[in-house]
């Protein structure tokens, strides 16, 4: 049986910094098991880390460097943009969520771990959105 290829949404990575130990531990398990991210995920992470978590630039850069070292990171491309627009229209999702979905689809991922998208939704007969915290 082939390995399942997961993609990790920004909100899951942010739980690595959470005081909620159950969610932080689950996020760590997901990252340790392997998963792809995109440059958009890094950008969103940096924005939340700076604006909401008040992290210093040094802390943000160190954390992003660590994330890039453990998660293969896909670039933002015109193909991602165009596929994301199709996803947004077809599934009536936000542009930003659709761009993450598009990156996961282009990366041939089969699972997208996300807390804020519809759990169980199947996109283009390929990508299933799963909320890894549903059991909590």
92-108 pLDDT, tens digit per residue, is 999 999 999 999 999 99
For the chain, the domain total comes to 1
- The CATH number covering residue 93 comes to 3.40.50.1010
**Residue 124 forms part of a structural domain:** yes
**Residue 98 forms part of a structural domain:** yes
DSSP secondary structure string, 3-70?
Answer: PP-EEE-HHHHHGGG-S-HHHHHHHHHHHHH--BEEHHHHHHHHHHHHHTS---HHHHHHHHHHHHHH
**Residue 135 forms part of a structural domain:** no
**Residue 27 forms part of a structural domain:** yes
**Residue 55 forms part of a structural domain:** yes
Report pLDDT digits (tens) over 42-71.
999 999 999 999 999 999 999 999 999 999
**Residue 65 forms part of a structural domain:** yes
């Amino acid at each position: 049986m082939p390995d399942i290829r997961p993609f990790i949404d920004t909100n899951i990575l942010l739980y690595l910094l959470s005081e909620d130990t159950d969610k932080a531990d689950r996020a760590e398990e997901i990252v340790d098991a392997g998963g792809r991210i995109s440059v958009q995920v890094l950008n969103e992470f940096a924005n939340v880390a700076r604006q909401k978590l008040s992290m210093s630039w040094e802390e943000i850069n160190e954390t992003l460097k660590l994330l890039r070292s453990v998660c293969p990171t896909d670039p933002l491309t015109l193909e991602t943009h165009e596929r994301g627009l199709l996803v947004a229209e077809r599934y009536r999702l936000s542009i930003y969520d659709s761009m993450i979905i598009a990156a996961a689809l282009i990366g041939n991922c089969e699972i997208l771990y996300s807390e804020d998208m519809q759990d169980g939704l199947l996109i283009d007969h390929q990508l299933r959105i799963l909320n890894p915290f549903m059991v909590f």
